[in-house]
């Protein structure tokens, strides 16, 4: 799309951020007949990748995705969790040879989500930054933007903040301030080639090797994997970076003896409770910007997509009713919270507890769980297993199980 300095574009909806939740909000809003424009500040949707790329497949029907193979790098049949002393818990689902998850190609995934939105009629502008919100009589009525050196405005009935962990839209709208350093994981990852891990499993290393977080090894094929970690910001004293922790982990293990790093990824993710408020007059937040990342796993895609579908559908209703005020937008607030909030809070409580455990406790718990033969790869199933063996660890939130 060509714009000139000072142009004013008119849309029903402007979405700030061309990640999967931005595109998916656009997709479902456009399907309801909305004129939608998605702004992406980078020149390429999906790149650079800032993700471990492991994702479950349980949500495909809900999101109406029929072909996941085009963005799948490696199918996974289960997970292995390792305690600091090397005790191992293997979780495989006994489902007629079905894979329980995949390690995806995030750049292809993001572009496919954008493609689905474009096919519903959404417009996209890449290499275009939002600079601020336009307000009129208390309502948010669009964004100021800049593309290829040109400043212009988009006037809209509703703005969607889908701008991720570092969301500016949420802050501009006054919906939240800072996140506690306890609730931020700062992450570093290499793509490692020529390593020796079973590529049918995702691998998770728990304990002080990644304080407050974990190390992941997510296979991208035979002998190649995303190897990364997240560390709670409040546990860092400035003497060691996440990269230092990962380098130490890699040099301590023989599986990486011949390994070569062929890319580097950095980033951060919130493991906070969901934002208290995700709407205001003429604006909603979705995805990482709404703080719906799973606090236990740090995974943001699935919750974000489920929330984005609800957002798109509610926007359709807004247009039908001609209502974009905060009171009407409570429809969105209520529907996504009914769908996602209980599990977000349960996993937040579980994360808070897990962060207090020392290495010996991880050894003990992993050892006890490996006897149980867990057959479901989910945080809920693991928590139920822990509850069976160590109810005292779950006591504070047992009613949420």
Q: Which residues bind other proteins (CB under 8 A)?
A: 41-42, 50, 127, 164-168, 171, 177-179, 181, 184, 186-188, 233, 236-238, 241-243, 264-268, 270
Compute the least distance from the CB of residue 176 to other proteins, in Å: 11
Compute the least distance from the CB of residue 400 to other proteins, in Å: 27
Helix 106-119 vs helix 20-31: crossing angle, to nearest 10: 20
Compute the least distance from the CB of residue 298 to other proteins, in Å: 13
Compute the least distance from the CB of residue 77 to other proteins, in Å: 31
Q: From CA 302, how far away is CA 220, in angstroms rounded?
A: 20
If we measure between CA atoms, which residue out of 191, 245, 246, 243 comes closest to residue 219? Answer: 191
Q: From CA 117, how far away is CA 144, in angstroms rounded?
A: 23
Complex with other proteins: residue 8 or 148, whichever CB lies closer = 148
Compute the least distance from the CB of residue 238 to other proteins, in Å: 6
Q: From CA 101, how far away is CA 97, in angstroms rounded?
A: 12
Strands 150-155 vs 78-82: parallel, antiparallel or unpaired: unpaired
Give the contacts of 283 (CB within 8 A, at least 6 positions apart): 133, 140, 158, 159, 160, 161, 169, 173
Complex with other proteins: residue 28 or 245, whichever CB lies closer = 245
- Tokens for 198, please give them: 């079973």
Compute the least distance from the CB of residue 243 to other proteins, in Å: 5
- Tokens for 280, please give them: 């205001």
Compute the least distance from the CB of residue 46 to other proteins, in Å: 15
Complex with other proteins: residue 113 or 268, whichever CB lies closer = 268
Helix/strand/coil for 337: helix
| H or E stretch at 129 | strand 128-136
Query: What does each C-alpha distance from 386 to 57, 173, 215, 393 come to in angstroms?
Result: 24, 41, 21, 8
Compute the least distance from the CB of residue 340 to other proteins, in Å: 21
State the Cα torsion 303-309-315-321 to the nearest 10°: -120
Complex with other proteins: residue 144 or 339, whichever CB lies closer = 144
Q: Is the dihedral of CA 36, 41, 47, 52 positive or negative?
A: negative
Complex with other proteins: residue 137 or 237, whichever CB lies closer = 237
Helices marked H in 163-300 — which ranges? Answer: 169-172, 242-251
Complex with other proteins: residue 86 or 238, whichever CB lies closer = 238
Complex with other proteins: residue 36 or 275, whichever CB lies closer = 275
| Residue appearing with tokens 């039908």 | 320
Complex with other proteins: residue 187 or 377, whichever CB lies closer = 187
Complex with other proteins: residue 1 or 148, whichever CB lies closer = 148
Complex with other proteins: residue 165 or 214, whichever CB lies closer = 165
Compute the least distance from the CB of residue 269 to other proteins, in Å: 9
Compute the least distance from the CB of residue 214 to other proteins, in Å: 15
The answer to whether 123 and 38 have CB atoms below 8 angstroms apart is yes
If we measure between CA atoms, which residue out of 287, 333, 296, 268 comes closest to residue 110? Answer: 287
């Amino acid at each position: 799309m060509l714009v000139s300095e000072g142009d004013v574009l008119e849309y029903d909806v402007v979405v700030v951020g061309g990640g999967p939740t931005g595109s998916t909000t656009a997709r479902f809003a456009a399907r309801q007949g909305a004129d939608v424009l998605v702004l992406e500040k980078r020149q390429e949707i999906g790149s650079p990748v800032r993700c471990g790329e492991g994702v479950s497949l349980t949500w495909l029907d809900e999101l109406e995705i029929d072909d996941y193979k085009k963005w799948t790098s490696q199918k996974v049949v289960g997970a292995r969790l390792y305690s600091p002393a090397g005790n191992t818990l293997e979780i495989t689902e006994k489902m007629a040879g079905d894979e329980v998850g995949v390690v995806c190609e995030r750049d292809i995934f993001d572009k496919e989500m954008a493609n689905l939105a474009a096919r519903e009629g959404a417009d996209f502008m890449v290499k275009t930054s939002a600079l601020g919100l336009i307000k009129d009589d208390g309502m948010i009525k669009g964004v100021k933007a800049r593309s290829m050196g040109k400043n212009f405005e988009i006037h809209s009935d509703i703005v969607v903040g889908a701008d991720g962990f570092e969301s500016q839209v949420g802050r501009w709208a006054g919906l939240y301030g800072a996140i506690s350093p306890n609730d931020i994981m700062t992450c570093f990852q290499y793509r490692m080639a020529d390593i020796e891990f079973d590529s049918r499993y995702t691998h998770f290393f728990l304990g002080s090797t990644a304080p407050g977080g974990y190390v992941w090894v997510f296979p991208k094929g035979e002998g190649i994997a995303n190897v990364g970690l997240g560390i709670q910001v409040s546990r860092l004293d400035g003497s060691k970076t996440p990269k230092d922790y990962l380098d130490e982990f890699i040099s301590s293990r023989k599986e990486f003896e011949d390994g070569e790093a062929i890319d580097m990824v950095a980033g951060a993710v919130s493991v906070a409770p969901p934002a208290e408020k995700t709407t205001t007059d003429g604006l909603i937040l979705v995805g990482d910007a709404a703080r719906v990342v799973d606090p236990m796993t740090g995974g943001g895609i699935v919750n974000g997509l489920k929330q984005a579908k609800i957002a798109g559908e509610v926007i359709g209703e807004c247009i039908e009713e001609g209502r974009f005020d905060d009171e009407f937008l409570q429809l969105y607030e209520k529907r996504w919270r009914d769908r996602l909030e209980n599990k977000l809070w349960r996993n937040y409580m579980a994360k808070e507890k897990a962060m207090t455990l020392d290495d010996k406790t991880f050894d003990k718990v992993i050892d006890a769980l490996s006897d149980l033969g867990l057959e479901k790869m989910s945080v809920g199933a693991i928590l139920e297993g822990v509850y069976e063996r160590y109810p005292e660890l779950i006591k504070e939130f047992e009613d949420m199980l």
